[in-house]
Amino acid sequence: MEMIKLTIDNKIVEVEKGTTILKAARKIGIDIPTLCYFELCDMKIENKPGGCRICVVEINGRKNLAPSCITEATEGMVVNTHNIRVLNARRTVVKLMISDHPFDCLVCAKSGNCELQTIATKFGIRDIPYKGEKSTYRKDTSPSIIRDIDKCIMCRRCEMMCNEVQTVGALSAVNRGFKSVVAPAFEMDLEKSPCTYCGQCVSVCPTGALTEVDHSNDVLRALSDSKKTVIVQTAPAVRAALGEEFGLEPGTSVTGKMVAALRRLGFKYVFDTNFAADLTIMEEGTELLGRLNRHLSGDSSVKLPMLTSCCPGWVNFFEHNFSDLLDIPSTAKSPQQMFGAIAKSYFADKIGVKRNDMVVVSIMPCLAKKYECQREEFKVDGNPDVDFSLSTRELAQFIKQANIDFLDLPDEDFDNPLGESSGAGVIFGNTGGVIEAACRTAYELHTGKTLEKVDFEALRGMDGIRSATIDFDGLPLNIGIAHGLANARILLNEVRAGKSNYHAIEIMACPGGCIGGGGQPFHHGNSELLKKRASVLYQEDTNKTLRKSHQNPHIIKLYEDFLGEPCGHKSHKLLHTKYFDKSDEVSIHE
Amino acid sequence: MAINQARKLGLLGQNILGLKFSFDIELRYGAGAFVCGEETALIHSMEGLRGEPSFKPPFPSVSGYRGKPTNVNNVETFANIPVIINQGAEWFASIGTEKSKGTKVFALAGKINNVGLIEVPMGITLREIIYEIGGGIKDGKKFKAVQTGGPSGGCLTEKHLDTRIDYDNLVEVGSMMGSGGMIVLDEDDCMVSVAKFYLDFIVEESCGKCTPCRIGNKRLYEILEKITQGNGTMEDLERLKNLSAVIKDTSLCGLGQTSPNPVLSTLTNFWDEYLEHVTLKKCRAGQCKALLHYDIDPDICVGCTACKRCCPVNAITGDKKQAHIINQDICIKCGACEEKCAFDAISVKLEKRIHTEHGND
Ligand code: SF4
Ligand code: SF4
Ligand code: SF4
Ligand code: SF4
Ligand code: FES
């Protein structure tokens, strides 16, 4: 590996050839501000258009200042990162940016977490001498995401996420000059674009230009209505990240405190989406075995591989892009929707509450879930199975507003019966987790033997596409895993071309799975943090005595008392769904 | 047509001239964006992507069109090649200056007697071009400046007339060869307005990728607009200087790095004019409408009412046979009255009118 030496601010630093000035400077603790530059190194996600020009530095012998985020360091280079010329240029550039930005910090959803605000504060900007026209665009509200593009600084991170990481192509730069902005084609509304609501654009937007639709006011209203029984479910990935919002080390599990906080917020019952994840496994696992057995017995009408269907971002993606393959995903609803369906039938009956008097709230790491719970097919007579879906960030905000001292809370347990879960339900939040959970159950149901080693290490990790062959007692089962929709597209194109030899494929829209969901606390490009969140879930799984979904006693009871058998008649009605051909809603993207 | 002929003659296409070598030409039409003159932007637009530049390196010669090494040249450059092949490199090098060889095509335009495309040897002086080839300034007016290099070039003055034109010399005096545009300006041109005109174009044509060019040029334009409206301050002039310097210093591509040139070169060469606009609210060329006003000399006016009747906005009052008065708040400075007055009582005053109690100067 070739090393080179350069001088930055009078310090000599040795770096690998090909390193940028920015990284070389960071190596010796010199902090150069950046805005458009963005990296999630473990996922190989990188945005460096070199557009914002905040990171400029002076290089001896060069006429102009150079952007440190894309300029490679070379042997003997002499760099000045903070002299007067550089500071003046940087300040001027920030002032220009602000001169075309609304002064909305007091009412902006991003305030306190905004990278532009942070830089303005750091530079001590006190006045904007460049006054003039500001660009204004109409606000665009979709079921999940709000675009307030007046606040866009054209860093193009969202564009990179949507096009390169997700290959959705909903967002790109349009118009030119002062009028240029990132928007769906023809500046249409996001709702009319191929957007999947994965929220990855929101999770990287440095400003308040892209934010989630905030439902906490609706929840507050429901909680204050004495006629309503408000119950809440929390997705697995939430407990792995919520603590970050309260200053806890990333990787701290806050399950008990989260339950305690939700009770103090006034939810009548605090349940766990993991319970519904166990239920998903029962249904999806049974469906997989059914398809597999028919396939093995030569039934050619059975399509394999079976695709998981618990990620609504992914569901949107294949309804848009792979409508010719609508018969291969599992018909099982997502855990969020299974929970809602059971809560408003089985549980509502049990506690003697009418469906319309029950409000089901979900806390999700995800923005696509906001859209999912509004889908028509998940409503009974106009009443949705899940009323409101809040993101992890919204919950944190809610807890802070209620002046609950989160760190001081005792650890409390979920309510029953919809609060008990196995370790299999917990790992749903990680990429590979759903399929691992399914394997644990499917293995035992298929072979009738006890699975001794429940950890399928081969299915874990952060590579975008992974595959493994699991030995089902002589039957080799080929499993594929993809996270990030670009990777999903690769596997799906193989399926479409008839070149796929997988039996089952797990797909999650978000890089890392739900732990990296669009509703999680902002990671600001720190991929270590995602790995720590993943380890929380694996740890929680290991700590459980019950590790397999079909062993969850409340699940067993639910089938005995109410559902009958997995994939049976009642299950089909409540726990399964169908998919729609939405290919005409998108332009073809290949 | 030329391409088809060449194909028929076997000069283009598969195995040209019966050799193993294949060579073809295909014309592509762009959407007409100025920034696509920048080579990386041009390549992106050919690839079907947004026409915007990207950071170099990698240079197109290493990784260009679809990642292949790409040679980007102007038609003019390619047009020179056959001549060089036929006449030899030495012959070509004998024309021009030490560093810029050969000839250059300029588009000569503006207040000059002979306009059109001219091909001249490098090293020729501006004076030769303007007075010999161009036949001097139109209507015998006084030469003021020549703007070279297209929208992001600079304005050169009297004192540059004997500069030998080549790539380096032009840059040295604050302009550039650029697109080979050459626009001659005379005493009737206001240099602040000229700078504003070019900035207006740049604001439209910036691709919008980088902050200094996207927003900075817009702000430059707005400041110039403010000055031509008579609202400029000394701070604005300082802002122009700083902003121009930062835009040049931090922009991503050649467009932004040169876009403040019209401002900088006019600030340097025509500082007095800027000062007049800002401090005296005066435009010596009479181009900045907001800064001038029409005035009726009461000693000459016979009260014929001709002006009153022709004023499209009824700004003129006065009884028959009495001196008339123009209400400056209503006047739109169309100049119709001045033309109409048979007694030359109406004249244009270059300073912005200072309001007094009586509504007169
Ligand atoms: S995006 Fe940032 S800077 Fe802009 S209003 Fe919101 S918090 Fe303030
Ligand atoms: S939510 Fe996902 S699909 Fe929609 S615009 Fe954002 S990145 Fe693209
Ligand atoms: S919307 Fe946000 S992420 Fe997208 S370009 Fe604008 S500021 Fe950047
Ligand atoms: S991976 Fe998880 S967080 Fe992301 S869209 Fe899918 S369900 Fe939502
Ligand atoms: S961070 Fe380097 S140009 Fe934006």
Closest CA to B13 of B1, B26, B30, B28: B26
pLDDT tops 80 at residue A63: yes
A97, A146, A155: residue to mutate for ligand 3 pocket, most atoms within 8 A of CB: A155
Going by C-alpha positions, the residue among A491, A482, A531, A536 that lies closest to residue A509 is A482
Architecture of domain A98-212: 2-Layer Sandwich (3.30)
Q: A199 or B33, which is more confident?
A: A199
Range A389-417 burial, b when 16+ CB lie within 10 A, else e: bbbbbbbbbbbeeeebebeebeebebbeb
Q: Are B239 and B216 in contact (CB under 8 A)?
A: no
pLDDT at B50: 85
Q: How far is A233 from chain B (nearest CA, A)?
A: 43
Question: Closest chain A residue to B224 measured between Cα atoms?
Answer: A132
- Residue A15 · residue B19 · CB < 8 Å: no
Tokens 């005109």: give the residue.
Answer: B197
Reported confidence tier of residue A389, pLDDT bands at 50, 70, 90: very high
Q: Kindly provide the residue ranges of all beta strands, DSSP E only, lying in A242-341, ordered along the sequence.
A: 269-272, 306-307
Would you give per-residue pLDDT tens digits along chain B (361 residues)? 888 888 888 888 888 888 888 888 888 887 777 888 788 888 888 888 888 888 888 889 888 898 899 999 888 888 888 888 888 888 888 888 888 888 888 999 999 999 999 998 998 999 999 998 999 999 989 999 999 888 888 889 988 999 888 888 888 888 888 878 899 999 999 999 999 999 999 999 999 999 999 999 999 999 999 999 999 999 999 999 999 999 999 999 989 999 999 999 999 999 999 999 999 899 999 889 888 889 999 999 999 999 999 999 999 999 999 999 999 889 988 889 998 999 999 988 877 655 444 444 4
CA-CA distance, A567 to A550, in Å (whole number)? 14
A418 phi and psi angles, rounded to 5 deg:
-95, 25
Q: What CATH code would you report for A217-575? A: 3.40.50.1780
CB neighbours of A452 closer than 8 A, spacing ≥ 6?
none
Strand ranges inside chain B, DSSP E = 103-110, 116-121, 143-148, 154-157, 181-186, 293-296, 316-317, 325-326, 346-349
> Could you say which ligand is closest to the alpha carbon of residue A112?
1
pLDDT of residue B16: 83
* CA-proximal residue: ligand 3, atom 4 (nearest): A158
Q: pLDDT value at position A587? A: 57
Q: Residue B92 has what pLDDT?
A: 85
CB-based contact A175 B208, cutoff 8 Å:
yes
Q: What is the ipTM of this complex?
A: 0.89
Distance CA B101, CA B9 (A): 32
Contact: A175, B251; criterion CB under 8 Å: no
Contact A312, A485 (CB under 8 A): no
Our answer on whether the CB atom of A517 is closer than 6 Å to any ligand 4 atom is yes
Return the residue whose CA atom lies nearest to atom 8 of ligand 2. Answer: A162
Q: Could you count the other beta carbons within 10 Å of the beta carbon of residue B296? A: 22
> Cα–Cα distance between A191 and A586 in angstroms, integer?
11
Q: What is the pTM of this model?
A: 0.91
Give yes or no for residue A105 CB within 6 A of ligand 1: yes
Query: From residue A295, how far is each of A299, A397, A410, A529 by CA, in Å?
Result: 5, 49, 51, 41
- Exposure string of B216-253, with b = 16+ CB inside 10 Å and e = fewer, is bbbbbbbbbbbbbebebeeebbebbeebbbbbbbbbbb
**Structural domains in chain B plus CATH codes:** 103-177 (3.10.20.600), 191-280 (1.20.1440.230), 292-349 (3.30.70.20)
Instruction: Give the architecture (CATH level 2) of A3-82.
Output: Roll (3.10)
Ligand closest in space to the Cα of A199? 2
The residue whose CA is least distant from atom 2 of ligand 3 is A205
What are the backbone angles phi and psi of residue A576, rounded to the nearest 5°? -120, 160
Cα Rg of chain A, angstroms: 25
Catalytic residues of A: 284, 287, 310, 330, 369, 372, 377, 514
Contacts of A123 in chain B (CB under 8 A): none
Whether residue A65 has its Cβ less than 6 Å from ligand 5:
no
Chain B: residue whose CA lies nearest to A173: B50
Nearest-by-Cβ selection for B203 from A50, A100, A177? A177
Minimal C-alpha gap between B218 and chain A (Å): 7
pLDDT per residue as tens digits for the range A304-327 = 899 999 999 999 999 999 999 999
> What is the rounded average pLDDT of the residues A229-254?
96
The pLDDT of residue B258 is: 92
pLDDT surpassing 50 at residue A287: yes
Task: Please identify, by atom number, the ligand 2 atom nearest to the C-alpha of residue A184.
Answer: 5
Task: Find the chain B residues whose C-beta atoms sit closer than 8 A to any C-beta of A.
Answer: 33, 35, 50, 52, 54-55, 57, 203-212, 214-219, 222, 235, 239, 242-243, 246, 248-252, 257
Kindly report which listed range (A166-180, A356-370, B22-36, B308-322) carries the lowest average pLDDT score.
B22-36
